[in-house]
Structure 1
Amino acid sequence: MSGNPDFDLFRTSEDHEELRAAIRNIAEHQIAPHAGDVDHNKRFPQEAFDALTAADFHAPHVPEEYGGMGADALATCIVIEEVSRVCASSGLIPAVNKLGSMPVILAGSEEIKHKYLTPMAKGEAMFSYGLSEREAGSDTAAMKTRARREGEDWVLNGQKSWITNAGISEYYTVLAVTDPEGRRGANVSAFVVEKSDPGFTFGEPERKLGIKGSPTCELHFDNCRIPGDRIIGAEGEGLKIALRTLDHTRVTIGAQAVGIAQGALDYAIGYVKERRQFGKAIAEFQAIQFMLADMAMELEAARQLVYVAAAKSERNDADLSFFGAAAKCFAADVAMKVTTDAVQLLGGAGYVEDHPVERMMRDAKITQIYEGTNQIQRLVMGRQLVK
């Protein structure tokens, strides 16, 4: 699955489809049976992590020279899509591993890459991403977390909010202000923080609407001392690295949204073919067929946009910022609509935990919010258009 920047945008390769079949088999037989329990009990999907790690799908994006599969951007999206089709919380295992480690891949030294990508590729560690703060969400440059030099070390103080898989991951990319008097946006640096570092602790898990199997916590830094060689890239380049990271990883959130929507559509189709009213299956009613047609049409449009954005991510095209934002924004909006319609198609049955569509609707909502709200995505696209 080594990267091929020239793959046909409108037809996935044979390798991609073989990959899809393999990950779908794992998802349906080893992940789906636990999805409801993971959601109900708000627990990390350990079964999914074990199954994905055994098959080398937990971090498929890691290059081969660091022990990874070396999957291209589209292959990584297919993995996330297929896992999210049955369990969105589990889909965040490969998605957040890519998010957390992408700054290292884009800007890290060879020493940092070998030190942190290799254990992740082996399944020995996960990687999370610490950018947002309580008062610095969309306005990332307003962050308050500080890192100051002390001899050869860096000492971090502050907090990060809404951190996916916090407490589970061993490694964290953390953005912090290193020059408080410097120019806004050019005074931030990126660091790798390890779970065991002294002065690094976690807040209580957030009580969330969806993706309940993926823990979300605050990160707290209280004179957290880390070695000087943990900086990613050059001092002051952190925000630039963070935004480049999001250009690539927003595509994976689009893939997660597509997977959630596909799972909801599949389940709704199965239900309406079995549910009978007025002497026949409700799937025979035109009103139902029109709903399904709109759901499938919009879902397929979202999938194609995500796949094109993945191709651009693989090539690092100049217009990736627009397409990454567009793929994430459009797919997330489609996922919210498709899952809501799936609940509607099931009627009262869609509103209870006996059927997975209510979980899928709750899970879909976050795709419109994290890695930049869909309002921010529209801002990114608009700026690209008029630049």
Structure 2
Amino acid sequence: MTVEQMLPPSPLKGEHDSLPAVADTGSAARAERLMSFLRKYAEGRVNSALMDDRRSVTPAAILDLGKAGLFGLQVAQKYGGLELSHADAYRVIAQAAVMDTNLALIAGVHNAIGVTPIRVFGDDRTKAMVLPEIARGRSLATLAVSEPGAGSNVQGITTTATAVPGGYVVNGRKCWISLGAWAGHVNLVAKTTDEQGRPTGLSAFLVEGHSDGFVPGPEAVTLGMKAFPQNRIDISNLRLPSEALLGAEGQGMAVAQSAFYGGRGMLGGACVGVMKRCLQLTGRFAARRHVATGTLLHNGRVQQILSECVAATRAVEILVQQVAHDLDSGREVSPELYSACKILATELAFRVADWSVQLLGGRGYLDTNVIGQLFRDIRLLRIFEGATETLTVYMGSVISKEPRNLIELVSGRYRAVGTMELLGKTYDRLVAGLPAADRGLRAALRDKHILASITGELACWGLLSAMTEYTEHRTGTELDRYTAFWAGRQLHDRVQQAGDTKRQFEVLDAAFLSERIADYAREIGDVQQSLAGEDRQLDALLSRP
């Protein structure tokens, strides 16, 4: 059966949304058609275990999925894309994650951090030349920001682009670049300087992946997402024309943020798909597995765990739908909402995957039973595109200085005045419980980081509690009622923990930790394996002189 034959002749009806509908221009029908194709394609053309073993996707997959439209989800139809709404694009990514997490992440990275900067900041000439290629998967696109000494801190990058007559010369090194060796187009962020060496800020460039001086390095050997390539890229005297600029010189941070924010919704969609697939398999097992008290599903503790997992899944779905609805309505999405989406979606998806492995018992630990691979794969997303801890501390720091956006969301938009008051009182108690300021600068800085982390986490759960309660009032369904109850309970548990300020701020200092950990060498040695593995070096008699 060909790709065209797998595509249904007419669209299927989509799921009901808990938010008011945004004017549909045929996006839902196009999304349903693609989702139906992905289900059929997964049945007969995808072998996730094989790709995991081989650390590479099936060669035909990129071509087939590109032909079906998966790599042009939000590219305008005039450029050969599907021009989906954000809501529909996230639904497609969720379905892709059910098909295979590696393929979903390839599509998500390409569509979010690859395509978005070109769509938003590319000029008409660039769009006309590049978008038709990347919309059909004939060229993959990605973003190159991270460096060995600069991950989430974009301002810390050291790659330079020095202005020369007619363009720029770029030098530096990037690492952990998704699709780095595969991408035909790379959105590269560097520090620009004028011809006299004076800094002009961060700027973004669209680079062809096979350019001279742009050299992908070895592929990282990862714990999960094994068929999803991540590479180092060495950049040496890469010459770029002025037309390679995305946006204006000095707009690099805006370009990077457009990519990161676009990626957070896509990651949320992928998490929804993985959570539903894990629970689909776990529920099937629980209904069939007989224990001393009957089926596993009728065990009270198992029902308790599954109830929480189903509520967590629905909560993430509501959160992702809200981000999509705001974007499709033309409303500016606050950084706090983007951060909460990334933090909660990835953390809760991993929790659901972990519980699924646990409930399957020994079967969960068998890599042949699907969930084990999902567990390994989803682990990356808690780190990918901003680690949870980094984002939480940053979010808490911002809210501590300026809580207006959070107040507007929780109290204003979702009418959860009581929740906002609870957050405010908890924050005041945390500040009042800070240890004495006379313990030294390092201790004060440490306490500041801890306070920001707690504040960020409370803000995430306060926002989710308000959002799920608001959704419950709109829909009145049993699932949404329970989800709101569950989210509220999660918030109150964290408020109670935060109230114990001694527990929060009483930690071992860095000097003691370093000394104690160093002592382990006397207790367990310091073993570093040195037995050689496979010899993959080209024989000296065959290599270039």
Q: Does 1:28 align with 2:23?
A: no
TM-score, normalising length: structure 2? 0.66
- The CA deviation string for residues 115-147 of structure 1, in whole angstroms up to 9 with x for no partner, is 211211132111011011111001110101111
2:69 to 56, 76, 82: 56
The alpha carbon displacement at 1:224 in A equals 1.3
Q: Does the 8 Å CA contact 2:27/2:84 hold for their aligned counterparts?
A: no
Q: Does 1:220 align with 2:237?
A: no
- The CA deviation string for residues 76-104 of structure 1, in whole angstroms up to 9 with x for no partner, is 11111111123111112321122112112
When residues 380 and 156 of structure 1 are mapped into structure 2, their CA distance, relative to the original with a 3 A threshold, is same
Amino acid of the residue matched to residue 386 of structure 1? P
1:79 to 92, 100, 124: 92
Question: d(CA) in 2 for partners of 1:95 and 1:25?
Answer: 18
1:10 to 19, 31, 39: 19
Q: Does the 8 Å CA contact 2:67/2:136 hold for their aligned counterparts?
A: no
- The CA deviation string for residues 246-303 of structure 1, in whole angstroms up to 9 with x for no partner, is 2222111111122121111111111222222227321221221211111010110001
Q: Does the 8 Å CA contact 2:31/2:89 hold for their aligned counterparts?
A: no
The alpha carbon displacement at 1:17 in A equals 6.2
1:94 to 107, 111, 123: 107
Write out aligned runs for 1:275-290 (5 A).
275-278=289-292, 280-290=294-304
Amino acid of the residue matched to residue 52 of structure 2? D
Q: Does 1:127 align with 2:141?
A: yes
1:360 to 369, 374, 377: 374
Q: Does the 8 Å CA contact 2:323/2:333 hold for their aligned counterparts?
A: no
* Corresponding residue SS for 2:265: helix
* Corresponding residue SS for 1:221: strand
Q: Does the 8 Å CA contact 1:349/1:355 hold for their aligned counterparts?
A: yes
Question: d(CA) in 1 for partners of 2:217 and 2:91?
Answer: 33
Question: d(CA) in 2 for partners of 1:262 and 1:8?
Answer: 17
Write out aligned runs for 1:337-348 (5 A).
337-348=351-362
Question: d(CA) in 2 for partners of 1:82 and 1:266?
Answer: 13
The alpha carbon displacement at 1:45 in A equals 4.2
The alpha carbon displacement at 1:319 in A equals 3.4
Write out aligned runs for 1:1-387 (5 A).
10=19, 18=29, 21-31=32-42, 33-98=46-111, 99-179=113-193, 187-278=201-292, 280-382=294-396, 383=398, 386=403
Question: d(CA) in 1 for partners of 2:330 and 2:198?
Answer: 30
Question: d(CA) in 2 for partners of 1:273 and 1:260?
Answer: 20
Show structure 2 runs of 5+ residues with no match. 1-15, 405-545
Of structures 1 and 2, the one scoring higher in RCO (CA 8 A, sep 6+) is 1
The alpha carbon displacement at 1:347 in A equals 0.6
- The CA deviation string for residues 213-268 of structure 1, in whole angstroms up to 9 with x for no partner, is 11111111111112221110111110122113322221111111221211111111
The alpha carbon displacement at 1:63 in A equals 1.5
When residues 179 and 305 of structure 1 are mapped into structure 2, their CA distance, relative to the original with a 3 A threshold, is same
When residues 327 and 343 of structure 1 are mapped into structure 2, their CA distance, relative to the original with a 3 A threshold, is same
Question: d(CA) in 1 for partners of 2:86 and 2:20?
Answer: 15
Amino acid of the residue matched to residue 42 of structure 2? I
Question: Greater Rg, structure 1 or structure 2?
Answer: 2
The alpha carbon displacement at 1:379 in A equals 4.0
Question: d(CA) in 1 for partners of 2:311 and 2:59?
Answer: 34
The alpha carbon displacement at 1:313 in A equals 2.6
* Corresponding residue SS for 1:38: helix
Identity of aligned residues (%): 23
User: Greater helix share, 1 or 2?
Assistant: 2
* Corresponding residue SS for 2:368: coil
Number of equivalences: 379
Amino acid of the residue matched to residue 26 of structure 1? F
Q: Does the 8 Å CA contact 2:289/2:296 hold for their aligned counterparts?
A: yes
When residues 305 and 386 of structure 1 are mapped into structure 2, their CA distance, relative to the original with a 3 A threshold, is same
What RMSD in Å do the two structures reach over aligned CA positions?
A: 2.3
Q: Does the 8 Å CA contact 2:142/2:179 hold for their aligned counterparts?
A: yes
When residues 333 and 239 of structure 1 are mapped into structure 2, their CA distance, relative to the original with a 3 A threshold, is same
